[in-house]
Amino acid sequence: MRSWIVVLLIALHAAVQSGRSLADANKDQVGGTFTVRPIGVVQKTQDRTLIVLDKQYQPGLLGLEGFSHIHVLWWFDKNDTPAKRSILQVHPRGDPNRPLTGVFATRSPMRPNLIGLTLCKMVSVRDNVIEVEQIDAFAGTPVLDIKPYAPGQDSAPGARAPDWARPK
């Protein structure tokens, strides 16, 4: 808590000293852009789906085999164009019969930051390779991060969704 207060006080001081608003001064603290580097790639064959990490990240897999599922964060690299990044409203799942909806209320691949998220059932972990049952990403898709699915933290009892988002 204290570190957050210190950051806020530094930003407030910077704003007062420069005559700018706290929001503008905070942009200097947060930054407008940053770099995310892939840790691996999705590989697919007819009967297997693999998350192949760069060898340098293999030590980070220690203990992952104890989990049944993982969250895989990946990059929608096929949609990385200014036009597709500027789309902010879509018909969910490309179905014009569904209501026009903001991309942050959907799992659309068109969005300002092209981060995909898939919950995957793990088959195995070996060396720098995680085999999963399936992932909704193409072969060659860059993988940004992997996190274990923790039932006590990741489930949401009483979660709700609009009718269009429910399974048929």
- Write out pLDDT tens, residues 81-103: 899 999 999 998 889 999 999 99
- Alpha carbons 27 and 50: distance in angstroms, whole number: 39
- Per-residue CA distances from 10 to 19, 27, 31, 32, 125 (Å): 14, 12, 15, 18, 45
- Whole-number pLDDT of residue 165: 84
163: confidence class by pLDDT, cuts 50, 70, 90: confident
Q: Convert the pLDDT of each residue in 39-78 to its tens digit.
A: 999 999 999 999 999 999 999 999 999 999 999 999 999 8
Is the pTM higher than 0.85? The answer reads: no
Higher-scoring residue by pLDDT: 10, 1: 10
Which residue reads 């992997």 in tokens?
146
In Å, how far are 12, 23, 129 from 9, measured between CA atoms? 5, 13, 45
Instruction: Quickly list DSSP for the chain.
Output: -HHHHHHHHHHHHHHHHHT--HHHHHHHHH-S-------EEEEE-SS-EEEEE-GGGGGGGTTGGG-SEEEEEEE-GGG-SHHHHT--EE-GGG-TTSPPEEGGGS--S-SSS-EEEEEEEEEEEETTEEEES--SS-TTPEEEEEEE--HHHH--TT----GGGS--
Give the length of the chain: 168
Task: Give yes or no for residue 149 having a pLDDT over 50.
Answer: yes
Report the distance separating Cα 110 and Cα 155, nearest Å: 26
Phi/psi of residue 137, nearest 5 degrees: -130, 155
